């Protein structure tokens, strides 16, 4: 506690660093980076939610069950909610039901975006080839 007070006094004496204006956003950013949700998390979650069975979801995803379970626990930890009721049967919690709707939407949007990007790239490639053929032909 004394060290914290001395540090706070030192920082307050430095011009432009009063009240941690520069360090706080960096801490939030670092914390958020460690809690990032990846598309893999959403794909795994959707598979378990659709199968309501970790083993069958793992088979569908071509992964083993331990990494799948670990990823779902990691997702729950990052979101701070329980997504599945685990017992004799697996079922979605209300948060899980909402995340399923949102995850499907997000994954569909990502897929559609990738298709649009690919079509633009293909069109550019075709235009480049046509120009080369016209110029050379």
The ranges assigned to domains in the chain are 31-136
Which run of H or of E encompasses 86?
strand 84-86
State the DSSP code for 38: P
Higher-pLDDT residue of 117 and 16 is 117
Residues 41, 46, 51, 53: what is their CA dihedral angle, to the nearest 10 degrees?
A: 30
Query: Which residues have C-beta within 8 Å of that of residue 104, sequence separation ≥ 6?
Result: 46
Average pLDDT over all residues of the chain: 81
CATH assignment of 31-136?
Answer: 1.10.10.10
Query: Which residues have C-beta within 8 Å of that of residue 46, sequence separation ≥ 6?
Result: 100, 103, 104, 107
Lowest-confidence segment of 18-22, 37-41, 99-103 by average pLDDT? 18-22
- Report pTM: 0.67
The C-alpha atoms of residue 63 and residue 54 are separated, in whole angstroms, by 11
How does pLDDT run across 26-78, given as a tens digit for each residue? 555 555 556 899 999 999 999 999 999 999 999 999 999 999 999 999 999 99
């Amino acid at each position: 506690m004394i060290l914290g007070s001395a540090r706070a006094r030192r920082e307050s004496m430095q011009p432009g660093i009063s009240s941690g204006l520069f360090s706080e956003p960096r801490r939030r950013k670092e914390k958020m980076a460690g809690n990032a949700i990846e598309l893999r998390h959403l794909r795994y979650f959707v598979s378990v939610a659709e199968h309501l069975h970790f083993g069958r979801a793992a088979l569908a995803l071509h992964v083993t069950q331990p990494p799948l379970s670990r990823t779902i626990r990691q997702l729950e930890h990052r979101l701070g909610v329980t997504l599945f009721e685990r017992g004799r049967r697996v079922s979605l919690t209300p948060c899980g039901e909402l995340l399923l709707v949102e995850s499907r939407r997000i994954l569909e949007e990502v897929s559609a975006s990738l298709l649009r990007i690919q079509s633009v790239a293909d069109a550019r490639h075709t235009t480049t080839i046509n120009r080369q053929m016209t110029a050379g032909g």
